[in-house]
């Protein structure tokens, strides 16, 4: 997604969301192998988080346990959705525009339901607040407590830089996505709720937007690299 965002900033085309990124992956020479491997990985992560939600955190207080379990459930659902996306592309039924259209269709469906407007505002604000939380986590370097940092100072500095830049970039795109949901709901224009791709393209259209978009794209690449490093350094 970071590479697609940079391409958009340079005047290129593409969908800077999960479906667009997976479509790019599918077009590579080893596409089928990569897609099935990513499907298996996301499915395993979904099962792991579901297991945490059921069996873990029982030693914590009731309040903390409920929060941890709710977070694990949410992550399990996210990984399950990613697994389904990889599965659809691996079978040849996925499309690069899937997420953008689904976001709009889901917004329309919810807006037509009783109380749907209020629900969308709450969802949009929740996504935006989550984005702010990711940004704060990056600036405060609080992600470091979840890592066993390398002993080498240069390596430790590199990990910290990747984490700070990556979390701020992810927070930015989540904030944009949440704000678009709220704006689309308030103005009764569900077509404006276009998910992550729509948020990044809206950013590109602002003054100096191409530079900010390129910076965000670079940050997303840093976040991807950080997650690879986290797979090795995570404090389990």
154 vs 95 pLDDT, higher one: 154
pLDDT at 161: 94
149: left (phi > 0), else alpha (psi -120 to 50), else beta?
beta
Hey, where are the domains in the chain? 1-96, 102-236
Determine the average pLDDT of the residues in 102-111. 64
Average pLDDT of span 32-38: 92
Number of other residues whose CB lies within 10 A of the CB of residue 233 = 17
Mean pLDDT of 46-56: 89
pLDDT, tens digit, 9 for 90 and up, residues 171-226? 988 888 788 777 766 665 555 555 666 677 777 777 787 888 888 889 999 999 99
Contact 176, 213 (CB under 8 A): no
16-31 pLDDT, tens digit per residue, is 777 778 888 888 888 8
Q: Across residues 57-72, what is the average pLDDT?
A: 81
Do 197 and 100 form a contact (C-beta atoms < 8 A)?
A: yes
- Tell me the three state secondary structure of residue 66: helix
What is the rounded distance in angstroms from the CA atom of residue 33 to the CA atom of residue 26? 9
In the three-class reduction of DSSP (H, G, I as helix; E, B as strand; rest coil), residue 103 is classed as helix
- H-type helices in 91-144, by residue range? 98-112, 116-140
pLDDT in tens, 132-155: 999 999 999 999 988 888 888 999
- Which run of H or E residues covers position 184? helix 153-186
Question: What φ, ψ does residue 234 adopt, rounded to 5°?
Answer: -60, 140
Task: Check: CB of residue 151 under 8 Å from CB of residue 201.
Answer: no
C-alpha distances in Å from residue 13, one per residue of 58, 97, 177, 183, 219: 48, 12, 19, 25, 19
Which of the residue ranges 12-26, 100-114, 123-137 has the most confident prediction, judged by mean pLDDT? Answer: 123-137
176 and 202 Cβ atoms separated by less than 8 Å: yes
pLDDT above 60 for 106: yes
Per-residue pLDDT at 112 exceeds 80:
no
- For residues 127 and 210, give the distance between their C-alpha atoms in angstroms, rounded to a whole number: 23
Residue 147 sits at φ, ψ, to 5 deg, of -120, 150
Q: What is the pLDDT of residue 24?
A: 82
Residue 102 has a pLDDT of 63
Percent of the chain topping pLDDT 70: 84
Separation of alpha carbons 55 and 51, rounded Å: 6
Query: Under a CB-based contact definition with an 8 Å cutoff, are residues 95 and 23 in contact?
Result: yes
Q: What angle do CA 110, 19, 213 make, to 5 degrees?
A: 95
* Longest Cα separation, the chain: 57
Confidence of residue 47 (pLDDT cuts 50, 70, 90): very high
Cβ-count burial 92-106 (b if 16+ within 10 Å, e if not): eebebebbbeebbeb
pTM of the model: 0.78
What's the mean pLDDT when you consider all of the chain?
82
CA 122 to chain centre: 18
């Amino acid at each position: 997604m970071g590479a697609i965002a940079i391409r958009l900033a340079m005047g290129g085309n593409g969908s800077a969301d999960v479906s667009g990124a997976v479509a790019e992956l599918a077009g590579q020479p080893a596409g089928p192998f990569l897609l099935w491997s990513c499907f298996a990985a996301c499915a395993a992560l979904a099962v792991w988080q579901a297991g945490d939600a059921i069996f873990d955190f029982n030693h914590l207080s009731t309040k903390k346990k409920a929060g941890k379990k709710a977070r694990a459930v949410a992550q399990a659902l996210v990984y399950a959705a990613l697994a389904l996306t990889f599965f659809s592309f691996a079978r040849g039924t996925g499309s690069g525009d899937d997420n953008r259209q689904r976001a709009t269709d889901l917004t329309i469906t919810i807006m037509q339901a009783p109380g749907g407007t209020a629900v969308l505002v709450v969802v949009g604000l929740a996504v935006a607040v989550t984005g702010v939380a990711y940004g704060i986590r990056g600036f405060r370097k609080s992600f470091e407590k979840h890592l066993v940092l390398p002993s080498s100072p240069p390596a430790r500095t590199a990990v910290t830089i990747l984490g700070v830049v990556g979390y701020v970039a992810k927070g930015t795109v989540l904030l944009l996505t949440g704000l678009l949901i709220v704006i689309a709901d308030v103005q009764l224009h569900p077509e404006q709720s276009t998910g992550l791709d729509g948020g990044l393209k809206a950013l590109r259209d602002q003054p100096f937007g191409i530079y900010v978009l390129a910076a965000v794209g670079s940050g997303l690449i840093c976040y991807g690299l950080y997650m690879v490093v986290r797979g090795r350094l995570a404090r389990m």
